[in-house]
Structure 1
Amino acid sequence: MTDTQLKLVVLDMAGTTVADGGLVEQAFGAAAERLGVEPGSADHAEKLQYVRDTMGESKITVFRALFGDEEKARRANTAFEEAYGELVDGGRIAPLPGAEEAIRRLRAEGRTVVLTTGFARTTQDAILTALGWHDLADLTLCPADAGRGRPFPDMVLAALLRTGAVADVRQLAVAGDTAYDMLSGVRAGAGLVAGVLTGAHGEAALKEAGATQVLASVALLPDAIAEFEASTGR
């Protein structure tokens, strides 16, 4: 019989384990202005709304959709990453309440924890450095590490392959604050796909995208996993 205990936990960062205080929107504003999008214009408002709607998706993919050609998308992405990095360095970021404790508890229970992001590696590393989190999880992944970002399942499956922690996708738990996190977990075949209400999307959007359960915060995830295993005899 296959052991389907949830031994690998894949967690999103911004909005799920990390509070960034709206830095994504601020960094987008800086990037858009550099590409000639006038602040306060209808074009700016439309593009900003798209950024909000696609929270969790790989940022380069978002910029490709917004600006239409690869050269502009890469310029926008570079400007975004630079602006976000400066804001992070300015101390504008913090762990969400209970997130660090939840990660430590999951690892103490023998589970492998992987942190994922839609940002580039340089920005992910800046966040990890600012929080002192480089050794908190077993592995960290960004879209470039896996092939494609969310909503594709690549980062979740890369976590499985790189850690070797599980033999079956049903032994995976995925948690995040956006519909894209939910889609990536569902498409990877994860046994548990948990939405959290500390970020971009609300309960309805998370459930519509496939969340098996919705939690007030990631701090509740260890108990939710324990309850899930108990209820399924795992």
Structure 2
Amino acid sequence: MTAIELVVLDMAGTTVLDGGVVERAFQRASERTGVADRLPWDDALAYVRRTMGMSKIDVFTHLSGGDVAAATAATAAFEGAYAELVAEDGITEIPGAAATIRSLRDAGLTVALTTGFSPMTRDAILTALHWHDLVDFALSPVDAGRGRPAPDMILLAALRAQVSSVSAIAVAGDTTSDVDSGLRAGAGLVAGVLSGAHGRAQFEAAGAHVVLADVTELPAALG
């Protein structure tokens, strides 16, 4: 395997403890906007679970039947609900995530965070965790053009980090969208982590190179 130069990590469920906040925020957004009313609630929730990690505007566009205006309003409602829930309940890291990131950077690697959230919500999470200086940079779909499963955020991270090759990138996330994105980007190591939305069978079916209990096992997987 090519020596890794850049590590791209997902946020919610991978480095940030989700605790069901995404699903609860979706429920509030749906109640406030009616964006998922065309579907039975169980079907809408199942779709949200399957598409964890994807750009929220893409998820809501599907749920609204392609109504971009409705999807945009629902995305704003989701972001507002997520912020409310973080304020109500607080937010914490996946145990050991910050220490793992520090160890990766101490080893000379660039570390980037990616998320399906807007920059506003992403930055609110970083502020709550005091993580702005922990990583080299953090990216949202709007920064790169498209959200996961497209490879855009990873490829933008590669450009910013000036990696020698896409095979020098390692990607880790808790959803199959993270795995799809990493594979499409040509990353040398694509890891699924079991601390969030999806399980081992889903990751193996998606083609993950390795499945880890959580992000703290990533340094060992890098060799």
Give the TM bin, normalised by the shorter chain: over 0.9
1:70–1:216 Cα change, 3 Å: same
Show the 5 A alignment for 1:53-72: 53-68=50-65, 69-72=67-70
Is 1:50–2:53 an aligned residue pair?
no
2:92 maps to 94
Per-residue deviation at 1:102? 0.6
Please tell me whether the aligned partners of residues 89 and 126 of structure 1 are also in contact (alpha carbons under 8 angstroms): no
2:113 maps to 115
1:231 maps to none
Instruction: Count how many residue pairs are aligned between Structure 1 and Structure 2.
Output: 222
Distance 2:57 2:102 in 1: 31
- What are the superposed Cα offsets for residues 162-201 of structure 1, whole Å, 9 maximum, x if unpaired? 221x110010000000000000000000000011000000
Distance 1:195 1:11 in 2: 10
- What are the superposed Cα offsets for residues 130-170 of structure 1, whole Å, 9 maximum, x if unpaired? 11111110010000001000000000000001221x11001
Distance 1:31 1:44 in 2: 13
1:210 maps to 207
Distance 2:137 2:101 in 1: 12
Per-residue deviation at 1:42? 6.6
1:27 maps to 25
- Seq. identity, %: 59
Per-residue deviation at 1:36? 2.9
Unaligned runs of 5+ in 2: none
Q: TM-score, normalised by structure 2?
A: 0.96
Per-residue deviation at 1:43? 2.0
2:196 maps to 199
3-state SS of the aligned residue for 1:18? coil
Structure 1 counterpart of 2:181, one-letter code: S
Is 1:130–2:89 an aligned residue pair?
no
Structure 2 counterpart of 1:197, one-letter code: L
3-state SS of the aligned residue for 2:111? strand
2:164 maps to 167
Q: TM-score, normalised by structure 1?
A: 0.91
Per-residue deviation at 1:119? 0.6
Please tell me whether the aligned partners of residues 89 and 130 of structure 1 are also in contact (alpha carbons under 8 angstroms): no
Distance 2:222 2:212 in 1: 11
Distance 1:78 1:10 in 2: 26
Distance 1:91 1:115 in 2: 22
Please tell me whether the aligned partners of residues 36 and 63 of structure 2 are also in contact (alpha carbons under 8 angstroms): no
Distance 1:42 1:102 in 2: 41
Please tell me whether the aligned partners of residues 20 and 92 of structure 1 are also in contact (alpha carbons under 8 angstroms): no
Please tell me whether the aligned partners of residues 35 and 74 of structure 2 are also in contact (alpha carbons under 8 angstroms): no
2:144 maps to 146
Distance 2:21 2:55 in 1: 16
Unaligned runs of 5+ in 1: 227-234
1:4 maps to 2
1:83 maps to 81
2:14 maps to 16
Distance 2:53 2:110 in 1: 22
Please tell me whether the aligned partners of residues 37 and 44 of structure 1 are also in contact (alpha carbons under 8 angstroms): no
Q: Return the index of the structure with the highest Cα Rg.
A: 1
Please tell me whether the aligned partners of residues 17 and 93 of structure 2 are also in contact (alpha carbons under 8 angstroms): yes
3-state SS of the aligned residue for 2:40? helix
Structure 1 counterpart of 2:9, one-letter code: L
